[in-house]
Structure formats: C-alpha cells, structure tokens
Amino acid sequence: MDVTTERTVIVYTREDCHLCKDAITTIRSVAESVELPVEIAVVDVDQNETLRTEYGDRVPYVVIDGRPTFKYRVDERELRQKLE
C-alpha cells in the first residue's frame, strides 16, 4: 500500500453502545496522531436489516481497509501499528 493512501476505518455500531463510543473515541484519537490521512465511517447496524443480522450484538466491529480488525474493544497500540 502506498504510504500516502488514505486509510479507511469502518466502525459498525448500535445506539446506546458504550463500547462503541469508547472505540470511536480511541480511533479518532489515534487517527489524529498518525501522519497518514484516515477516513472514519460510523455505521449503525440497526438501520439496515442485513447488517443487524450479520453483526447483531457483536459491536463495535471495526474494519480497516476492508479487513476485519477489532471486535468489542479497540487496542490503541495495535490500531496505531495498523494505521502507520
């Protein structure tokens, strides 16, 4: 991957999910600290029947550049390594 390429992070969430809020906060914090552009997309699985069926209560579910990376909790150190 070209080091100047924007990284895409998708966070599958549900309303009132405290782990989701924690994950998004961690991702935003790490994204601000890395020297590469990072696009963060937050997707509420309850807004789509297919996503609700696929992810259900397995949120937050984090996908980086199309690859499943974290489920339930985001490890800040590991995330930083994956984004750099």
Per-residue model confidence as pLDDT tens digits over 12-58: 999 999 999 999 999 999 999 888 889 999 999 999 999 999 998 89
Name residue 24's amino acid. Answer: I
Q: Is residue 64 part of a domain?
A: yes
Q: Report if residue 50 sits inside a domain.
A: yes
DSSP string computed for 34-64: SSS-EEEEEEEGGG-HHHHHHHTT--SEEEE
Give me the domain span that covers residue 65: 7-83
20-32 residue pLDDT tens: 999 999 999 999 9
Indicate which CATH number applies to the domain containing 26: 3.40.30.10
What is the rounded distance in angstroms from the CA atom of residue 19 to the CA atom of residue 13?
9
What domain count does the chain have? Answer: 1
**For the residues 50-67, what does the mean pLDDT come to?**
94
